[in-house]
Amino acid sequence: MSLKEKFTSISPAEFFKRNPELAGFSNPARAMYQSVRELVENALDATDVHEILPSIKVIIDIDNQEKQIYKITVEDNGIGIPPHVVPDAFGRVLYSSKYVLRQTRGMYGLGVKAAVLYSQMYQEKPIEIVTSPVGSKRIYVFKLKIDVTKNEPIIYERSSISNEKNFHGTSATLYLLGDWQRSKSRIYDYIKRTYIVAPYAEFYFKDPEGNVVFYPRLTNKIPKPPEEVKPHPYGVDIELLKNMISRMKPTYVIKDFLVNQFQSVGEITAQKVLEMAKIDPNKKISSLTDDELSRLTEAMKKFEDFRPPSADALSVIGSDLIELSLKKIFNPEFVGALTRKPKAYQGHPFIVEVGIAYGGQIQPSSEPLVLRYANKIPLIYDEKSDVIWKVVEEVDWKRYGVEGDQIPLVVMVHLCSTKVPYKSAGKESIAEVEEIEKEIKYGIMEVARNLRLFISQKKKEEETKKRMLTYLKYIPEVARSLSVFLADGKKADADKHSQELKTKLFEIVAKKLDLKDLEEYKLYKVEEL
């Protein structure tokens, strides 16, 4: 037995090739779903974040029936990709344009590369990218794979053609070992739920069985795009400080550095923080010792008077769009939505939005249908381990008037943040961060109160209607008896009195019951009641 270990290091590409499940590629069905997701999310980030109304095409074909190899193409009308970055964007793990403080669907610089790695593990065709940046006179075509050991792209083909029609956007085609039957419902769900929060987008989807679904654009109103922001002092650590300092002029003095490079720090605040950290405000950043950096980090965390992190980096969906979509998709009786005020956790700003739909054509079920979203991405898998599910499950829906074993209830929650605390790189569930959990709870309670009002109003109306219908049965009889009494045996008078009395009695009862819509009842025929 040897007591010696052999040490080596591996590249990030090798790491994710060895552990594909960490990025959501645990089996052919999940891999197929995840690949569609990564491509669609990149397509949306390339459009709505840049105020382009998205037109997105997703086409899945079977490429080799026997081996179950599928061809997945996603095409967008986004900003396109400059040709010199295409190889790295698709062929170098942890290469991204999204490592900035701004809300985007992408975060890790991994998604599409994880799909390429999985793709090349079970079949030989490279990924094909066709792209043209906005205003470009050429359309660029690339075919590439990833050199797993070196974590760099291997380019098989690079060419370009003239861009006659001013096309801008990107089309990416991947071949991969998949399982359509087992991923079908999730992929359909994913596209539909993506559309629910992006009704300003249009989606064309063709599945490998040849079925086509088209989701039309419902509105041209596109939510305000997120802006890039500076870091907030509550979010710093020693490494972040060192990293920022290494990219600055060495002669920069620490006070100016704090004021100019962070949000929520003015001259006076900087002065106070530096006093707390016992650092000379005029000291050059390049000469700060490790000990001083550590004291500074602590002071920044402890200082209580910073303004909260700016929400400019966030882009909400908005309550009107949420309501519009829930109405259109579920055709409910009640719909309500709200966007909460910005809050922060660990220096990261976040906003929670909630939408509730109830009744109408919603399919009743023993549990509410929970639609979870993070930075506009629908989360489909791992529902039960998500903080949103936990909060919805803890709500006592009976308190809000939702009763019965089968309830027609949809609860949608959207969390947007510059840093969504996902539980894994596959981005399927959100961790339990106390501040976020609270916001979700308050958001749901607020909309649910309107639902309670609606339900109790509806109940009252139903009860009133029942009572009215009961009175309607007696009115003709009472009117007839009274009219005979008033008419002293004259038949013509009796008929006249009866008619007048009926109208009068109807009015008295309706007034007493505070009925608004009388026309409905006038149409009832007593014999039918």
Ligand X SMILES: Nc1ncnc2c1ncn2[C@@H]1O[C@H](COP(=O)(O)OP(=O)(O)OP(=O)(O)O)[C@@H](O)[C@H]1O
Instruction: List contacts with ligand X (CB under 6 A).
Output: 38, 42-43, 46, 76, 78-79, 81, 89, 96-98, 106-113, 170
Rounded CA gap, 109 and 90, in Å?
Answer: 9
Residue type (1 letter), 418:
T
The verdict on whether residue 113 carries a ligand-binding annotation is: yes
> Among all residues, whose Cβ is closest to ligand X?
106
Contact status, residue 25 vs residue 118, Cβ threshold 8 Å: yes
The pairing of strands 369-374 and 409-417 is parallel
Token digits of residue 26: 């645990």
Q: Which residues pair with 161 in a beta bridge?
A: 139
Tell whether residue 78 is among the known ligand binding residues.
Answer: no
Smallest distance from ligand X to CB 112, Å = 4
In single-letter form, the type of residue at position 28 comes to: P
State the minimum distance, in angstroms, from the CB of residue 78 to ligand X.
Answer: 5
DSSP string, 226-272: P---PPPGGG--HHHHHHHHHTS-TT-BHHHHHHHHSTT--HHHHHH
Q: Which value, in Å, is the radius of gyration of the alpha carbons in the chain?
A: 31
The answer to whether 97 is annotated as binding is yes
Which of 112, 433 has the CB closer to ligand X? 112
Identify which of residues 98 and 458 has a Cβ nearer to ligand X in the complex: 98
Give SS3 for 315. coil
Nearer to ligand X by Cβ, of 41 and 437: the residue is 41
Q: Is 529 annotated as a binding residue?
A: no
Kindly tell me which of 377 and 475 has the beta carbon lying closer to ligand X.
377
CB of 55 to ligand X, least distance (A): 13
Kindly state the smallest distance separating residue 170's Cβ from ligand X, in Å: 4
Among residues 295 and 419, whose Cβ is nearest to ligand X?
Answer: 419
Residue 116 or 338 having the CB closest to ligand X: 116
Among 475, 481, 467, CA closest to 506: 475
| Least distance from ligand X to the Cβ atom of residue 143, Å | 15
Using a 10 angstrom Cβ sphere, with 0-12 exposed, 13-18 middle and 19 or more buried, the burial of residue 193 is buried
Q: Is the Cβ of residue 108 or residue 167 nearer to ligand X in the bound state? A: 108
CB 126 within 8 A of CB 151: no
Say how far apart CA 246 and CA 233 lie, in whole Å: 18
**Ligand-binding site membership of 206 (annotated):** no
230 is in an annotated binding site: no
98 labeled binding residue: yes
67 is in an annotated binding site: no
Residue 357 in contact with residue 410, Cβ under 8 Å? Answer: yes
Which residue is listed with tokens 């029942």? 466
| Shortest Cβ 257–ligand X spacing (Å) | 28
Please check if 195 is assigned to a binding site.
no
Minimum Å gap between C-beta 154 and ligand X is 16
* Binding site, annotated residues for ATP: 42, 76, 97-98, 106-113, 427
Residue ranges of the binding site:
42, 76, 97-98, 106-113, 427
